[in-house]
Amino acid sequence: MKDRSENVERLKRGQNIAFLATLVAFLLAVMKGTVGYLFGSGVLIADAFHSGADVLSNFAAGFGLWLASGKKSTKFPYGLYKAETMAGFVIGGFIAFAGIGVFKEGFEKLFRLDPVSGFPVLPVCASIISSITAFFIAKKQLSVGKEIGSRSLIANSREAFLDIFTSLIVLMGIVLAFWRIPYVEGAIIMLVAVLIVKLGAENFWASLMVLMDANLDPELQSEIEKKVNEIYGVKGASEVKIRQSGPFKMVECVIATRPSLTLYKAHELADKVEDFIGKNYEHIESVFIHVEPAKDECLSAIVPVQSMDGLDSRVNGHFARAPYFAILHLENDLIKLDDFYYNEFLGEKRHIGVKMARIITDYKIGMLFTCNIGEIAFHMLKANFVDIYRVEENISLNDILEIYRTKSAQPLQAPTHSAEESLIAG
């Protein structure tokens, strides 16, 4: 998981750009409103309302990110990340309501042509300045929004890009109104009003979905489930849940593992899965893993043997130096010999046990029955959640299957010899 101070720093970067965008949008709104009023341009006044909606939206994002960067407390143990969402929810409703008022004004002007005294130089310049400014603000908001995972900043950046198009439409409307072409001014005011309502409704709806813990990223959900299933020791991942909390995500997941796993090892496996998710996916603030025993478990077991004589094959006295390994299939009442594996490392002088341990983990074999095993190989297998059982030399595979059926296998709690003794014996 991400460090708390790192999250706070990212939130502060987000709130800084949000408040900067608020200031810029406010200045643009004042400029367009003043120029529109002085020159009697209803289109520019409508665009000023549009910029005013941006002011509220950007302020909501900045205010929410500021609250979200506050410390966790006893009353708010999960932090105040959803403050950003709450702000977006409230402001979204206000923006949509304001847009409806602008739409009514546009409809009234649809059939009315106001007199024009001269070419509207200042209104044209105001629209051009608005377009250029919107481009740079949108670019910066999108960059920071993606960096910190803030939905509100990303949404506002898209709206700022839309402002470029809106300002160009407004520019066209100002010129066409000067030429006294009927219906144009009212129609463009209504178009701008629709964009304002759309902005408010989208903010309102997106915030509502987050507050209701909707799954907004099914692709990430499927990817996490697939990747967790590939972690050694996990027999199945299910019920992956992702909920948004401000700019961060919270992940819950249920994993199944072998019933024979000790509580300590199950906790270790859960930590392993949590670390994997936290380190490999951005904007995930916390991960909760619940471990359950696997049902209808199918296991593979491996046994070092002296020869390939079917179920009459005898256990070899040494793990790494056994010429063959028998692979057993263990599934409820179905217990059988699957195959034999030739020890390809037999002619080598060092680290044979380590190499065989890697083969066992690579093939995801869950159990090992052996007489002896060295220190390094033992800890490698244990670290990968392989159960190791002690059996006597020269007993047959039939005897091992009977031990498994009667659940009388004795777990090996420690290696039978040290790494130094393995080298001497090698």
159-181 confidence digits (pLDDT tens):
666 667 667 777 777 777 667 66
pLDDT at 2 > cutoff 60: no
Tell me what pLDDT residue 421 has: 61
pLDDT tens digits, one per residue of 358-399: 888 888 788 899 999 988 899 888 888 888 999 999 999 999
User: Is pLDDT at 112 greater than 90 in this prediction?
Assistant: no
Convert the pLDDT of each residue in 296-305 to its tens digit: 566 789 999 9
In percent, the amount of the chain with pLDDT more than 90 equals 9
pLDDT of residue 192: 74
- 391: tokens are 């059996």
pLDDT tens string 31-59: 888 888 887 777 777 778 777 777 877 78
pLDDT band for position 7 (cuts 50, 70, 90): low
The whole-angstrom separation of Cα 104 and Cα 194 is 11
Residue 148 clears pLDDT 80, i.e. is over it = no
Of 311-320, 333-342, 403-412, 415-424, the least confident: 415-424
Query: What pLDDT does 326 receive?
Result: 93
237-263 pLDDT, tens digit each: 878 888 887 767 889 999 888 776 777
**How far is the C-alpha of 299 from the C-alpha of 402, rounded, in Å?**
16
Mean per-residue pLDDT, 83-95: 75
pLDDT score for 426: 44
Supply the pLDDT for residue 159: 67
Lowest mean per-residue pLDDT among 130-134, 239-243, 421-425: 421-425
Position 422 scores a pLDDT of 56
The pLDDT tens digits of the residues spanning 274-293 come to 888 888 887 787 889 998 87
CA distance 412 to 377: 13
Condensed to tens digits (0 to 9), the pLDDT of residues 11-23 reads 777 878 888 888 8
Q: Would you tell me which CATH number, out of the four given (3.40.50.2300, 1.10.287.3510, 3.30.420.130, 3.40.190.80), belongs to the domain 298-425?
A: 3.30.420.130
What's the confidence (pLDDT) of residue 308?
Answer: 92
Q: Which of 100-104, 190-194, 385-389 has the highest mean pLDDT?
A: 385-389
CATH class as words, domain 4-211: mainly alpha
| Closest among 129, 99, 124, 116 to 189, alpha carbons compared | 99
Q: Are 388 and 411 in contact (CB under 8 A)?
A: yes
Q: Topology of 218-293 in CATH?
A: Alpha-Beta Plaits (3.30.70)
- Token pair for 108: 């009234």
Mean pLDDT of the chain: 79
The contacts found for 272-280 with CB under 8 angstroms, 24 or more apart, are: 272/231, 272/233, 273/228, 273/231, 273/234, 274/1, 276/227, 276/228, 276/231, 277/224, 277/228, 277/251, 277/253, 278/1, 278/2, 280/227
Give domain limits for the chain: 4-211, 218-293, 298-425
CA 407/CA 404 separation, integer angstroms = 5
On the question of pLDDT at 116 being above 60, the answer is no
pLDDT at 127 over 80: no
Residue percentage of the chain with pLDDT more than 70: 84
